């Protein structure tokens, strides 16, 4: 099934664009889809995954505009849009 990603902040620059499409197995969670994105887009891998392959807690994940908790286990539907945001700091 297809999952559409919208990337913001440093992730956008690392991926070389604002959006990315990943084909994943049916029934995956948002976390599993993000891990699949990291596998298919090397530029963002180290930014979104820890050394053990888990999604970094600083990465914000939104499904259809709603922010997800890190323990969200709801299966995604085909064509779902996930938005990823990296931390932003200012001064």
Residue 89 has a pLDDT of 63
Whole-number Å distance between alpha carbons of 79 and 82:
10
Instruction: List the domain boundaries for the chain.
Output: 2-85
Percent of the chain past pLDDT 90, that is, above it, reads 74
State pTM to two decimals.
0.90
**How many H-runs (helices) and E-runs (strands) does the chain carry?**
3, 5
Pairwise CA distance, residues 72 & 91, whole Å:
32
Which pLDDT score, from 0 to 100, does residue 74 have? 94
- Residue 5, by phi and psi: left (phi above 0), alpha (psi -120 to 50) or beta? beta
pLDDT at 52 over 90: yes
**Fold designation for 2-85:** Ubiquitin-like (UB roll) (3.10.20)
Quick: pLDDT tens for 64-76: 889 998 789 999 9
């Amino acid at each position: 099934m297809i999952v559409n990603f919208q990337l913001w902040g440093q992730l956008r620059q690392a991926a070389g664009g604002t959006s990315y499409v990943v084909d994943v197995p049916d029934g995956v969670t948002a976390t599993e889809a993000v891990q699949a994105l990291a596998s298919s887009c090397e530029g963002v891998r180290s930014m979104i995954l820890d050394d053990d392959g888990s999604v970094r807690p600083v990465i914000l994940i939104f499904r259809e505009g709603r922010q997800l908790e890190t323990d969200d286990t709801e299966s995604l539907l085909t064509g779902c849009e996930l938005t990823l945001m990296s931390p932003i700091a200012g001064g």
